[in-house]
Amino acid sequence: MNATFSLGRIVGIRVGAHWSVLAVLLILTAGLAEGRLPSAHSGHSVWTYWAVGLATAAVFLASLLAHEISHAVVARRNGVTVEGITLWLLGGVARLRSEAPSPGAELRIAGVGPLVSLVLGVLFGAAAGVLGGLRGAGLGVEALAWLAGINILLALFNALPAAPLDGGRLLRAVVWHRTGDALRATLTATAAGRVLGWLLIGAGLYLLFLGASFSGIWLAVIGWFLIATATVEGGQARMRELLSGVPVRDVMTPDPHAVPAGASIAGFLGDPALRYRHSAFPVLGDDGRPVGLITVHRAGQVPPGDRDTTELGSVMVPITELPTAGPSDPLAGLLPRLEGSPLRRALVLSDDGALAGIVTSSDISRLTTWLTSTAVWRGSTASWHETAGRRTDDQR
């Protein structure tokens, strides 16, 4: 889930939001302003209800952000690099560059999120009690009570033992600790996630049948999301297992053709040496080190009249926004970052920062096709030998 706009950095972590957050903000605000608030405390103006509803919804989104930041902070303390946090329609996601190094680290990273939501729920509840005792019931108390309830509900829901929820990570940590098999642990958690997803879809359809249209559709959407995400996580786990032990150098294109940052767009698009070769090229700075990546499509978006005076460095994707790796880095660790990049390309850098190669998602697809075919062939051969051995034993 890529961010549509940036919210800056919090404790050094890049935070962004998807456009769907605006839909969440509107839905929550409308639900509070047109439903809960006037039902609990009538007599206020429409604008008052909407102002309190908007403020309450914004605080809830901040609570979601606190939940994700806690994951990111604990992940960093356990040696996992955090690329950023994105808020979107169904909550938030902390993008981690690699897997937790141990079951204990997984347990700590996953468990802190529900714990933070639970603590926030308790704090909001306490604030509602204090404010109610001082000033009596009112919109402020109602808003705090709603925030308390929704954060506690968020903590309980996230603690369910099903991927991709935090409880699924906890389940994965437990199974991983007991079996020593990270793949088996992931597949167990993702299977639980699919089961929970189908249960939520069934509950949503039942509510829809009873006439609760919004609640039913919302539950069904969450269920569909759980199924889809759990399926993807299971596939990624199998992919990491398949690619385990393969270094980046085995799949990269070494010494790719690169272009200087000071070259013009017109020169780049008109260079016969580059034509038809690739759709993207590394860009080198004055010191010969990579500074970004330029695609033919991106260069082609520059108006024809500006191409002679526009340099590649001004329209390239900077290297800070690209996944990078070293030649000896494990390919399995690069895979999630590559899939999360819009360009689906990664630059491979040597120890001194020089360009060593480039990796694309197509390169990995070809490798996985070969490895899968080889595994199937080896499995078939082993099965044939096993069958032949049994026949020989029977003959004896």
- Phi, psi (5° rounding) for residue 317? -85, 120
Q: Are residues 269 and 236 in the same domain?
A: no
Q: Poorest-confidence range of 150-154, 164-168, 333-337? A: 333-337
**Which of 181, 216, 243 is the last residue before a domain boundary?**
243
Q: Are residues 229 and 277 in the same domain?
A: no
Residue labelled with tokens 């099903």:
162
Which of 34, 68, 311, 339 is flagged as catalytic? 68
Average pLDDT over residues 246-271: 92
Q: Are residues 211 and 266 in the same domain?
A: no
Neighbours of 36 (CB within 10 A): 17
Per the structure, the count of domains in the chain is 2
What pLDDT score does 192 carry? Answer: 95
Average pLDDT over residues 198-211: 92
First to last CA, the chain: 61
Is residue 356 included in any domain, yes or no?
yes
Is residue 166 included in any domain, yes or no?
yes
Q: Are residues 19 and 132 in the same domain?
A: yes
Exposed/middle/buried for 254, CB within 10 Å: 0-12, 13-18, 19+? exposed
Q: What are the pLDDT digits (tens) for 71-120? A: 999 999 998 888 788 887 777 788 787 788 899 999 999 999 999 999 99
> Are 259 and 312 in contact, with CB atoms under 8 Å apart?
yes
The CA distances from residue 327 to 186, 235, 351, in Å, are 27, 25, 9
Q: Is the pTM of this model over 0.85?
A: no
Which H or E run contains 15?
strand 13-17
What pLDDT score does 340 carry? Answer: 72
Average pLDDT over residues 34-50: 91
251/242 Cα distance (integer angstroms) = 14
What pLDDT score does 182 carry? Answer: 87
112/118 Cα distance (integer angstroms) = 10
Is residue 385 included in any domain, yes or no?
no
Q: What are the pLDDT digits (tens) for 268-311? A: 998 877 766 788 999 999 999 999 999 999 999 999 999 999 99
326/337 Cα distance (integer angstroms) = 14
> Are 124 and 60 in contact, with CB atoms under 8 Å apart?
no
Is residue 22 included in any domain, yes or no?
yes
- Phi, psi (5° rounding) for residue 3? -75, 140
| Average pLDDT value for the chain | 87
Check whether 227 has a pLDDT greater than 50: yes
Average pLDDT over residues 33-54: 92
194/196 Cα distance (integer angstroms) = 5
Q: Are residues 162 and 262 in the same domain?
A: no
Is residue 383 included in any domain, yes or no?
no
Check whether 179 has a pLDDT greater than 70: yes
What is the domain-level CATH number for residue 327? Answer: 3.10.580.10
Full DSSP string of 204-246: HHHHHHHT-HHHHHHHHHHHHHHHHHHHHHHHHHHHHHHHTT-
Is residue 140 included in any domain, yes or no?
yes
User: Smallest Cα–Cα separation from 72: which of 127, 112, 34?
Assistant: 112
Q: Are residues 160 and 265 in the same domain?
A: no
Q: Are residues 236 and 162 in the same domain?
A: yes
| Furthest CA-CA distance within the chain | 94
**Which of 243, 271, 295 is the last residue before a domain boundary?**
243
Check whether 357 has a pLDDT greater than 90: yes
> Are 202 and 227 in contact, with CB atoms under 8 Å apart?
no
Q: Are residues 32 and 79 in the same domain?
A: yes
Q: Are residues 238 and 297 in the same domain?
A: no
Q: Poorest-confidence range of 87-101, 338-352, 370-384? A: 370-384
Give me the sheet containing 253-254, strands edge to edge. Answer: 253-254, 355-360, 345-349, 324-325
Residues across the chain: 396
Average pLDDT over residues 325-330: 92
The answer to whether 68 is a known catalytic residue is yes
Residue 335: which domain range? 248-366
Residue 160: pLDDT band (50, 70, 90) is very high
What pLDDT score does 391 carry? Answer: 37
Q: Are residues 235 and 101 in the same domain?
A: yes
What pLDDT score does 238 carry? Answer: 85
Share of the chain above pLDDT 90, in %: 58
Strand ranges (DSSP E) for the chain?
Answer: 5-10, 13-17, 82-88, 91-96, 253-254, 259-260, 280-284, 290-295, 317-318, 324-325, 345-349, 355-360
Q: Are residues 130 and 274 in the same domain?
A: no
Neighbours of 299 (CB within 10 A): 21
Q: Are residues 267 and 157 in the same domain?
A: no
326/347 Cα distance (integer angstroms) = 9
Is residue 390 included in any domain, yes or no?
no
Those residues whose C-beta lies under 8 Å from the C-beta of residue 221, and which sit 6 or more positions away, are 90, 204
394/396 Cα distance (integer angstroms) = 5
**Which of 222, 243, 264 is the last residue before a domain boundary?**
243
> Amino acid identity, residue 105?
A
What pLDDT score does 375 carry? Answer: 57
- Look up residue 175 and give its two tokens: 């199974």
Check whether 3 has a pLDDT greater than 70: no
Residue labelled with tokens 């405390």:
41
Check whether 201 has a pLDDT greater than 90: yes
Is residue 214 included in any domain, yes or no?
yes
